[in-house]
Amino acid sequence: MASMKKRADAALKLCGGSEKDYRKEIVKTAKALYKMNNVLIISHKAPDGDTLGCAFALCRGMRKLGKNAVVRCADEIPQKYSFMYEGMEKQEFKPEHFVSVDIAAPHLMGRLADEFENKIEVCIDHHLSNSIKAPVKLVDTKAAATAEIIWILLRAMGVELDKGIASCLFAAISTDTGCFKYSNVTPRTHLIAVELMKYEVECADINFKLLDEESPAKLELKKQALSTLEYCCDKQCAIITVTSEMMEQSGASNEDLDGVSNIPRSISGVECGITMKQVADGWKISVRSSDKVNASELCGKFGGGGHKAAAGCKFGDDYESAKKQLIDAVSEVLK
């Protein structure tokens, strides 16, 4: 396996990395994957571009090495990701080995958790909180997308990339970085993009499909939600409300809600953006904030939590009371 070490080194050099410990981890994981046949690769539930891009890129790569490999996901794969499995043949075999990609915790396997959570042999991820149990774990929290790690692994295994694999990986990176927009992007992210572009990836088409395209339902939801927009705390806080009726009337999905939750915080001058979403037993709150407001601490006051810039919490049925408590808490921070 000397050549695997060499190939890992070459890949790391191409994307600006060189730490010996990291290379060892890569080689260990690549070896484990290389030995497998009849592989089931598992994506997280409510799948996004990173988990799916990683799964299909790895699956295509394993097949190029002559192995049987399939992807499984607890939930249906949205149509916009269909290019990822386009042209792949159906394979029927009894899975013997199990790999998880971009899954931070067993429950994120959804309904597949019961069957597979204790069978994972290789876990590849970039979430700090990763709690999957597996003999081989490669969790690189510096990776903007898990796809960065998959790219290095495929190179280490000697898989010759092609348009299919490269498109999956590019889509995965584009998803998790908002197309190179967020603070998780590193030089490595750009350098891997350069490598992927060598395989005629239709980058702009993929970006449009994954980032800009909106369903009529989502747009209808946006319109309705925008009509509830209100400002408080000297216009430094903006609140948007999404009722169950709006969800029903628009036909929007929970995935569509993502784009809506980002609106209040995107308004110039707003330090804290709040989205109040009606759920069966009350109101689910999503907070996005600037440096001036710690969203996690704010939500912590109401039993919730999350990250500094994005967090959530829950309230009971009383909308006005929930809103008042939130506004009071934000005022306290901003005063």
Residues that bind a copy of itself (CB under 8 A): 16, 80, 178-183, 185-187, 190-191, 193-194, 197-198, 203-204, 207-208, 211-216, 219, 222-223, 226-227, 229, 231, 235, 262-263, 266-269
Q: To the nearest whole angstrom, how small is the minimum distance from the Cβ of residue 206 to a copy of itself?
A: 10
Which residue's CB is nearer to a copy of itself, number 178 or number 300?
Answer: 178
Q: To the nearest whole angstrom, how small is the minimum distance from the Cβ of residue 249 to a copy of itself?
A: 14
Which residue's CB is nearer to a copy of itself, number 74 or number 191?
Answer: 191
Q: To the nearest whole angstrom, how small is the minimum distance from the Cβ of residue 256 to a copy of itself?
A: 11
Q: To the nearest whole angstrom, how small is the minimum distance from the Cβ of residue 189 to a copy of itself?
A: 9
Residue 49 CB partners (closer than 8 Å, separation 6+): 81, 171, 172, 174, 175, 176, 210
Exposure pattern of 288-326 as b/e (b: 16+ CB <10 Å)?
Answer: bbeeebbbbebbeebebebeebbbbbbbeeeeeebbeeb
Q: Which of 143, 139, 201 is nearest to 169 (CA)?
A: 201
Q: To the nearest whole angstrom, how small is the minimum distance from the Cβ of residue 77 to a copy of itself?
A: 16
Which residue's CB is nearer to a copy of itself, number 21 or number 291?
Answer: 291
Alpha-carbon distances, residue 293 vs 26, 236, 272, 325 (angstroms): 38, 10, 7, 16
The Cα–Cα gap between 207 and 13 comes to: 27
Q: Which of 285, 286, 311 is nearest to 297 (CA)?
A: 311
The Cα–Cα gap between 131 and 145 comes to: 18
Which residue's CB is nearer to a copy of itself, number 196 or number 285?
Answer: 196
Which residue's CB is nearer to a copy of itself, number 93 or number 208?
Answer: 208
| CA–CA–CA angle 239, 78, 53 (5° rounding) | 100
The Cα–Cα gap between 187 and 129 comes to: 24
Which residue's CB is nearer to a copy of itself, number 100 or number 207?
Answer: 207
Q: To the nearest whole angstrom, how small is the minimum distance from the Cβ of residue 116 to a copy of itself?
A: 33
